Amino acid sequence: MSGLEGLRDSAVINLTGAVTMVVDDSPFGLDITASALLGFGIKTRYACHSAAEAIDILKDHPIDLLVVDTEMPEMDGYELVRWLRRSGLDPNAFAPVIMTATHVRRSRVTEARDCGANFVITKPFSAASLLERIVFVARDTRPFLEVGDYFGPDRRFREGKAPGAERRADVLRKMKHAADKAAAATGAEQAG
Amino acid sequence: MTVITHARRKSRLSKIIDEAGGVSIGAALTQAKANLEALKPRSAAEVADRIADLAAIQPPASPDQTMTALGQAYRAANGVIDGAGPFGMDDIRAVAIGLCDLIDAATPERPFDWRVLPVYAQSLQLLLALPDDAEGRLKVRESLEKMVDRKLGQPG
């Protein structure tokens, strides 16, 4: 198996004709993404270093896949995707969008969910995880929804607590800090 | 709340992917990994440049410059993660993530402690210079992680 869920190593894909845009203000970050895509047979048609540059192209040229970094100066990736979904551009407003994130700010977690992207993947991504997402968005049959301010692929969220152990770094830190303080207090009591 | 459902049209990508020709998943992944490996020699220079950006950032002279300076520091730290991430520089990436966490946690009530920025820049320079198996690497990373835990673990 390839490590890609549900796909064998021998399964064949053809992405050579996919008109792809990569947006990243970091030239090196853009090269990393474009190099991985090239391995899959995707030659990046539009390599943009800013959201403004991307918008100029998206207005006039249809694309099949957008890979965009979340964090960029001035207009960031979330704003670009939100603009795209609301642009009314056909077919670009419905194009599959994969966002790449070096570090997701806590204040932007909601925006990552609500901007209308199909996926957000964190860097460093492996070639396998990027390809897996591309194959998923290519086969994605979810309808697009307009709900209030949201326009994008149908999102289904579980109500209540997430399954499994706590994974949020800030919550874990607070728990660790509280445990350390409690242990220090106990140690001081015993010493006294 | 009104929900408008747009029936999903088959995207061009969904048609292209099943067209004749193409490559196997295994071959695609092998080629992608080789392409990424070819970028490895550039990664150390990229990380060094972004650390230099970080070291050059001055604390804001007035409160209205704070967001700009924080944005610069955040982007420089992001650049370090970008450069280090895929190429095995795990401790450099972890330290830069810690800095991003600290910047991200800054609020008007709990402002960013600008004294830590040069500490991070120097620590990252040290990590970049030290041999991979140097004992000091772990100490640098652990001491910075403890500082992040202490600063972010405090309620508020």
We report the CATH number of the domain holding residue B110 as 1.20.120.160
Let me know if residue A185 belongs to a domain. Answer: no
Q: Please write the tens of the pLDDT for every residue from B51-81.
A: 999 999 999 988 889 999 999 999 999 999 9
Closest to B36 (Cβ–Cβ): which among A15, A35, A176?
Answer: A35
| DSSP character at residue B98 | H
Name the residue among A13, A26, A37 with its Cβ closest to that of B22.
A13
pLDDT on residue A110: 82
Look at residue B25 and tell me if it is in a domain. no
The structure's pTM equals: 0.83
Predicted pLDDT of residue B87: 87
| Cβ pairs A/B, distance under 8 A | 205
Mean pLDDT by 10 residues, chain A (192 residues): 66 94 95 96 97 97 96 93 94 94 84 88 91 91 82 70 70 77 81 70
Q: What is the pLDDT of residue B155?
A: 63
| Residue to test with chain A: of B81, B82, B90, B99, most A Cβ within 10 A | B82
Q: What is the 3-state secondary structure (H, E, C) of A77-111?
A: HHHHHHHHHCCCCCCHHHCCEEEEECCCCHHHHHH
- Can you give the length of chain A in residues? 192
> To the nearest whole angstrom, how far is the Cα of B72 from the nearest Cα of chain A?
9
Q: Does B4 touch chain A (CB under 8 A)?
A: yes
Query: What total number of domains does chain B contain?
Result: 1
Which token pair is A64?
Answer: 């099949």
Q: Do B74 and A71 touch (CB under 8 A)?
A: yes
On average, the pLDDT of chain B sits at 90
User: Domain of B112?
Assistant: 42-153
Query: Chain B 117-136, CB below 8 Å of chain A: which residues?
Result: none
Nearest to A176 among B85, B97, B153 (CB): B153
Question: Nearest residue of B to residue A29 by CA position?
Answer: B82
E strand or H helix at A152, and its extent? strand A150-153
- A89 domain-assigned: yes
Q: Is residue B33 part of a domain?
A: no
Query: What is the predicted ipTM?
Result: 0.87
B61 part of contact set with chain A, CB < 8 Å: no
Of all residues in chain B, what percent carry a pLDDT higher than 70? 98
State the Rg of chain A over Cα: 20
Give the angle A55-B76-B29 at the CA atoms, nearest 5°. 65
Residue B48 belongs to a domain: yes
Q: Is residue A46 part of a domain?
A: yes
Instruction: Decide if A176 is inside a domain.
Output: no
Q: What is the pLDDT of residue A116?
A: 92
Question: Would A34 be classed as within a structural domain?
Answer: yes
Number of domains in chain A: 1
For residue B47, the chain A residue with the least C-alpha distance is A28
Task: Write out pLDDT tens, residues A109-161.
Answer: 888 888 999 989 988 888 999 999 999 999 887 888 888 888 888 876 555 66
**Would you say residue B18 lies in a domain?**
no
Residues of A in contact with B83 (CB under 8 A): 28
At residue A21, the pLDDT reads 98
User: What residues of chain B score a pLDDT lower than 70?
Assistant: 8, 155-156
Look up the CATH number of the domain holding residue A61.
Answer: 3.40.50.2300
Domain that holds residue A29: 20-153
Task: Give pLDDT, residue B117.
Answer: 95
**Contact between chains at B7 and A143 (C-beta distance less than 8 A):** yes
CB A104 within 8 A of CB A70: yes
* Shortest distance, CA A127 to any CA of chain B (angstroms): 6
